[in-house]
């Protein structure tokens, strides 16, 4: 499927003047240049295999892509009739938790202009790609898919503008801390979701700079 949020990284480094650049197969070079990092997660090998079988691109860093959690499914009938920034088709959250998260999301959007959206699911029971139009996903949107199917429950799609302000390493560290199987099995899926939202809120409140979001709180 087409990527929702294209973005890329460019690294610059000094080179030894005596260094001879190796020849690269043009087809391989083209493949890598067209393969940008869109989704951030901390999947285990099972999720990577799933993503590959779904013909989705992998980032150059080898990090898995959360788009696998939505791939091949489009069920708008699973979406709430009334607009909601929190959709829980898996039943992980209580009504009170959904209200608190929705309020925190509203505060984030008011204070920062970034749009956080949460989908809790158990693949393949998911509205899937229907969330794109439902939430009007754009470059300022963070789509947080909470799905334990592949082991790590925290998966993120970050818009291009978000990507400029938030280091990509933040999302991997966040998934590693609150999304790992040991954490959510001990404390519950809802605890992982709430902890992740609070960490995102804290990160987005920090001034943009070389050290912003360097710690997952």
Strands lying side by side in the sheet with 39-41: 39-41, 154-158, 141-146, 115-120, 86-88
Tokens 């050290």 belong to 211
Q: Which domains does the chain have, with CATH numbers?
A: 38-205 (3.10.310.50)
Q: What is the pLDDT of residues 49-107, one digit of tens each?
A: 333 333 222 222 222 345 666 777 899 999 999 999 999 999 999 999 999 999 999 99
Q: What is the pLDDT of residues 97-149, one digit of tens each?
A: 999 999 999 999 999 999 999 999 999 999 999 999 999 999 999 999 999 98
Instruction: Specify the pLDDT at position 18.
Output: 53
Burial bucket for residue 167 (CB in 10 Å: 0-12, 13-18, 19+): middle
Tokens 């285990």 belong to 44
What is Dmax (Cα atoms) for the chain?
Answer: 64
Cβ-proximal residues to 204 (8 Å cutoff; 6+ apart), any chain: 108, 111, 112, 114, 165, 166
Q: Residue 196: helix, strand or coil by DSSP?
A: helix
Whether 85 contacts 98, CB under 8 Å: no
Distance CA 81, CA 105 (A): 19
Instruction: Specify the pLDDT at position 72.
Output: 76
Specify the pTM. 0.70
Q: Judging by DSSP bridges, how do beta strands 115-120 and 86-88 pair with one another?
A: parallel
As a whole number, the mean pLDDT across the chain is: 77
């Amino acid at each position: 499927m087409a990527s929702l949020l294209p973005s890329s990284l460019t690294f610059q480094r000094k080179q030894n003047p005596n260094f001879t650049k190796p020849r690269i197969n043009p087809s391989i070079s083209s493949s890598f240049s067209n393969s940008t990092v869109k989704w951030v997660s901390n999947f285990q090998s099972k999720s990577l295999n799933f993503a590959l079988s779904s013909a989705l691109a992998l980032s150059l860093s080898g990090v898995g892509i959360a788009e696998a959690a939505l791939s091949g499914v489009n069920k708008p009938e699973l979406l709430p009739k009334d607009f909601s920034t929190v959709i829980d088709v898996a039943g992980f959250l209580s009504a009170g938790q959904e209200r608190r998260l929705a309020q925190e999301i509203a505060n984030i959007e008011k204070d920062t202009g970034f749009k956080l959206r949460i989908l809790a699911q158990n693949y393949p029971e998911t509205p899937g790609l229907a969330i794109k139009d439902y939430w009007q996903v754009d470059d300022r949107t963070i789509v947080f898919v909470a799905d334990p199917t592949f082991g790590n429950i925290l998966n993120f799609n970050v818009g291009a503008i978000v990507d400029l302000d938030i280091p990509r390493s933040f999302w991997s560290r966040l998934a590693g801390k609150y999304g790992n199987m040991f954490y959510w099995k001990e404390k519950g899926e809802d605890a992982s979701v709430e902890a992740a939202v609070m960490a995102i809120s804290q990160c987005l409140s920090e001034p943009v700079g070389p050290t912003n979001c360097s710690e997952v709180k």
